[in-house]
Structure formats: structure tokens, C-alpha cells
């Protein structure tokens, strides 16, 4: 059997294109994915033109928001580039210097201040995006939406704080500045106390009853308006989410991205190699000669699975090591992710052998490998909660009978201690290796 494996490696060596692809593929993928993963995600450039008068505070109800504070909020998520005018900002977007522009109008301060008045106006800012690139436009939209959300949250907090101060004034009483004049506000609590003191001194009769009603109203108003403060605070942050993770531990995004990249590479290299190599035995007419008393069909099968496992493992290892140069990989957990790579490579190899034995022709085997692997792997990446229960069950079933998802789980589990459990995917892969091996052996009976 070792001679068969050696022969396959010799044939592989004789195919410069295949060999180059096998060596370059993991390196190029590692570089591409590595750069993509380490690229600063906040590099989106946005042109900012602030038409508001310099130094104008955005104040209302005694609360003031510094213009710089708003700017910091806007530019916290993107790289802001100052523009001199609306036209300048638009030009920057058109030329591609900035992916979008934010125009802060001259009257923004007035409109924000009006929020605290009886005639509130809606403050608006203008967004300019370049619609010629649909993908970039979408990404920019998301970024700007996020940054406006944060700015709005800041304003809402300040508004609610201003409103709370008014409420406190009404409840507790105090001094209020109106057009430069200090006005004293009695406040509901003090009104209630005063009325209560006066009430027993009045003779029984209609006036005393009316006063009693005013005392009860003041009492009720004080109690109920007390609730308004927390209510206003709640409006600024309606739902407070506390994230508690239960059940399967999800890997971090980086680990997941590494897992997907490695699993895809492992799948394509291994399945295509084994399926093609086994079908080649038939095309070269060598299978019959080999099985005429020299080696058994089972030995040929094991040698092909061995070939796929060795080559797939090496390619995946190069890829993972390459990715490790860009993102943090726990080298201390190497025994775990090495196991994941070996078991994954073996399962994909057995699957490739089943395909090659069924197809019996290199081109057909290659085509079948791509047509089966790609959609099934992509299906395996569909989140459970993204589809209805029936489709979810169907996807899970398909994913379970193909080695991609257990390989992905095993790799992420091997890479990250907080990732999914490693041993279950490994057991899953062992079962799939045996099942596909049995299918391949069956198909070889009529090879």
C-alpha cells in the first residue's frame, strides 16, 4: 500500500500546475484572509462639513451639548475629513476621496434647542453617498446609521436630563431663569405642605372642602410625577439587553473566519484530489491490473484516503500557520486543532473516494465534487435562526451527512477553548469517514 501512496505522490509531483496550486493556494488564501481580518475596520472616510456657527453651544433646558462633543460622536466610528463647504464635501464623495459626506446645517443648533420648547422642530443633517458602488454604499449606510444612532442617543440623554430638571422644579420648587429674570417656583410639594397647614385653620364648609381637594391633587401629582423621571431615563435607552450565552459556545468572529477558510480549503483540496486520483486509476486502466492479485480494492481505497489526508492536512497546516501570522492562534492548543485537521481531512478524503468511485471518470468526478461540495458547505453556514423550522431541519440534515460542518466545528473547537466542544465533531467525522469509506468500497465493486 505504501507503494501506491508513493506512486500517487510521484504523479502529483509530475503535475507542475497541480503542485503549484497546492503550495500557492494556502499561502495566497492565508495572505488574503489574513490581511482582510487585520485591516482596520474603521477606515471608512467620511467628509464632514459643519455649517453651524463656531462655538455655538447646543443647549436646551439648562443642559448644553458641546459642538465638539457631537463631532466626536459622529467621527468615533469613521475617519472624518473636514470639508469647507457642502460642494466641497460632495466633490470629495464624487472623487472617491470620501465614501460619504455628513453636512451639519447652520440651523441645527436652533432646531435642537427647539426640542425643549413648545414648538419642537426635527433637527436634520444631510448625508451624501456615492451610489455607483452598491456594496460600498451599503457598508457606508450601515456605518453612518450607527454613528447617527450614537449621536441621537447623546442628544436624547441630554434632552431627558433637561426635562428631568423641569420636573424637579415643578415638584420640589426652586428658581428658574426666564429671559434673564430669576423666577421662584413654589413646587408641588411645598404647595401641598402650605395647603395642609392652612386647611385645619379654615371653618368647616365649602372653602375647606375645596382646599382639601387641592391638597389631595397636589399629593397625587407629586407621587405620580416622581415616576416621570425614571420614565424619561428609560425612554433614552428603551431596552437594556444583558447578553447571557447558554448552550453551544460560539467561537469568536476571528476564530470562525479562520475555521471557515481552513475548512473550505481542506474540503476542496482533499475531495478534488482523492476523487480525481481514484477516477484516474480507472482512466489509466491500472485499476484492473492492480486488483489482479496485486492489491485489494480495500487497499487501494485506504491508500487514496491516506493520500488525501496527508496532502489535505499539509495544505491546511500551511494555511493555518499563514493565518497565524496575522491573527492570534493559540499554539498551545495545537494538539487539538491538529487533530481536527487530520480527522477533517480523513472525512473529506473518504467523501472524495466515494465520489471518484461512483463517477469513474476524472472530469465527472471533479465536476461532481464542485457541484456537491460548494452548495452543501454554504448551506452549512446558514444560521439556524435565519430560516423556518422545516428548512432548518433540512439544512441540519444535509450538513450532518457532509463533513464540512463537523470539520468547521472541530477546527473552531480546537482553536478556541471557549469554542464548540471538540470531541463530538471528531466523533462525527469518524462516523462520516467510515460511512463514506463503506460507500466508496461498495462503488469500487463495479469500478
Residues that bind other proteins (CB under 8 A): 3-4, 7, 10-11, 14-15, 284-286, 288-295
Q: C-beta of 290: minimal distance to other proteins in Å?
A: 7
Pick the closer one to other proteins by CB: 37 or 286.
Answer: 286
Nearest alpha carbon to residue 163 among 26, 78, 79, 61: 61
Q: C-beta of 26: minimal distance to other proteins in Å?
A: 23
Cα 119 to Cα 111, 154, 159, 167, distances in angstroms: 10, 21, 15, 19
Contact 254, 327 (CB under 8 A): yes
Q: C-beta of 359: minimal distance to other proteins in Å?
A: 19
Nearest alpha carbon to residue 159 among 89, 112, 211, 197: 112
Q: C-beta of 339: minimal distance to other proteins in Å?
A: 31
Alpha carbon 22 to its chain's center: 31
Q: C-beta of 441: minimal distance to other proteins in Å?
A: 18
Pick the closer one to other proteins by CB: 279 or 323.
Answer: 279
Pick the closer one to other proteins by CB: 291 or 396.
Answer: 291
Q: C-beta of 11: minimal distance to other proteins in Å?
A: 5
Pick the closer one to other proteins by CB: 138 or 289.
Answer: 289
**What residues are paired with 45 via a beta bridge?**
79
As a whole number of angstroms, the distance between CA 407 and CA 416 comes to 14
**What residues are paired with 50 via a beta bridge?**
104
> In the block, which residue shows the cell 433637527?
123
Nearest alpha carbon to residue 411 among 324, 340, 359: 340
Q: Count Cβ atoms below 10 Å from residue 419 Cβ, excluding itself.
A: 24
As a whole number of angstroms, the distance between CA 153 and CA 104 comes to 17
Contact 268, 319 (CB under 8 A): no
Q: C-beta of 366: minimal distance to other proteins in Å?
A: 17
Pick the closer one to other proteins by CB: 142 or 284.
Answer: 284
Pick the closer one to other proteins by CB: 78 or 300.
Answer: 300
Pick the closer one to other proteins by CB: 153 or 294.
Answer: 294
Amino acid at each position: 500500500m505504501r507503494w501506491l501512496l508513493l506512486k500517487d505522490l510521484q504523479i502529483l509531483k509530475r503535475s507542475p500546475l497541480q503542485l503549484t496550486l497546492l503550495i500557492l493556494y494556502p499561502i495566497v488564501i492565508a495572505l488574503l484572509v489574513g490581511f482582510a481580518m487585520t485591516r482596520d475596520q474603521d477606515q471608512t472616510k467620511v467628509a464632514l462639513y459643519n455649517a453651524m456657527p463656531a462655538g455655538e453651544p447646543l443647549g436646551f433646558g439648562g443642559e448644553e451639548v458641546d459642538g465638539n462633543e457631537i463631532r466626536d460622536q459622529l467621527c468615533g466610528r469613521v475617519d472624518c475629513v473636514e470639508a469647507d463647504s457642502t460642494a466641497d464635501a460632495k466633490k470629495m464623495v464624487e472623487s472617491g476621496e470620501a465614501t460619504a459626506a455628513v453636512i451639519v446645517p447652520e440651523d441645527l443648533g436652533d432646531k435642537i434647542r427647539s426640542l425643549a420648547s413648545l414648538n419642537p422642530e426635527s433637527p436634520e443633517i444631510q448625508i451624501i453617498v456615492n451610489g455607483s458602488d452598491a456594496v460600498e454604499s451599503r457598508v457606508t449606510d450601515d456605518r453612518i446609521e450607527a454613528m447617527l444612532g450614537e449621536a441621537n442617543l447623546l442628544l436624547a440623554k441630554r434632552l431627558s436630563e433637561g426635562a428631568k430638571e423641569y420636573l424637579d422644579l415643578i415638584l420640589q420648587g426652586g428658581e428658574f431663569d426666564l429671559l434673564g429674570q430669576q423666577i421662584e417656583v413654589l413646587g408641588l410639594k411645598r404647595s401641598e405642605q402650605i395647603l395642609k397647614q392652612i386647611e385645619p385653620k379654615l371653618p368647616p364648609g365649602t372653602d375647606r372642602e375645596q382646599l382639601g381637594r387641592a391638597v389631595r391633587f397636589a399629593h397625587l401629582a407629586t407621587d405620580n410625577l416622581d415616576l416621570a423621571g425614571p420614565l424619561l431615563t428609560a425612554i433614552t435607552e428603551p431596552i437594556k439587553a444583558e447578553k447571557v450565552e447558554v448552550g453551544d459556545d460560539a467561537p469568536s468572529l476571528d476564530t470562525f473566519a479562520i475555521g471557515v477558510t481552513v475548512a473550505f480549503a481542506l474540503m476542496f483540496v482533499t475531495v478534488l484530489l482523492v476523487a480525481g486520483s481514484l477516477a484516474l486509476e480507472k482512466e489509466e486502466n491500472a485499476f484492473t491490473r492492480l486488483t489482479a492479485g496485486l492489491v485489494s480494492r480495500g487497499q487501494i481505497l485506504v491508500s487514496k484516503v491516506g493520500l488525501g489526508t496527508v496532502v489535505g492536512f499539509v495544505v491546511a497546516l500551511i494555511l493555518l500557520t499563514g493565518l497565524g501570522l496575522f491573527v492570534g492562534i493559540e499554539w498551545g492548543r495545537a494538539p487539538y486543532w491538529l487533530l481536527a485537521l487530520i480527522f477533517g481531512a480523513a472525512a473529506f478524503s473518504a467523501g472524495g473516494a466515494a465520489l471518484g468511485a461512483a463517477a469513474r471518470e476524472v472530469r465527472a468526478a471533479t465536476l461532481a465534487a464542485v457541484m456537491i461540495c460548494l452548495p452543501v458547505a454554504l448551506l452549512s453556514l446558514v444560521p439556524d435562526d435565519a430560516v423556518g423550522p422545516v428548512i432548518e431541519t433540512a439544512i441540519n440534515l444535509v450538513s450532518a451527512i457532509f463533513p464540512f460542518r463537523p470539520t468547521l466545528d472541530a477546527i473552531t473547537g480546537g482553536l478556541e477553548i471557549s469554542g464548540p466542544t471538540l470531541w463530538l465533531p471528531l466523533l462525527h467525522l469518524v462516523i462520516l469517514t467510515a460511512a463514506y469509506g463503506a460507500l466508496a468500497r461498495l462503488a469500487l465493486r463495479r469500478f
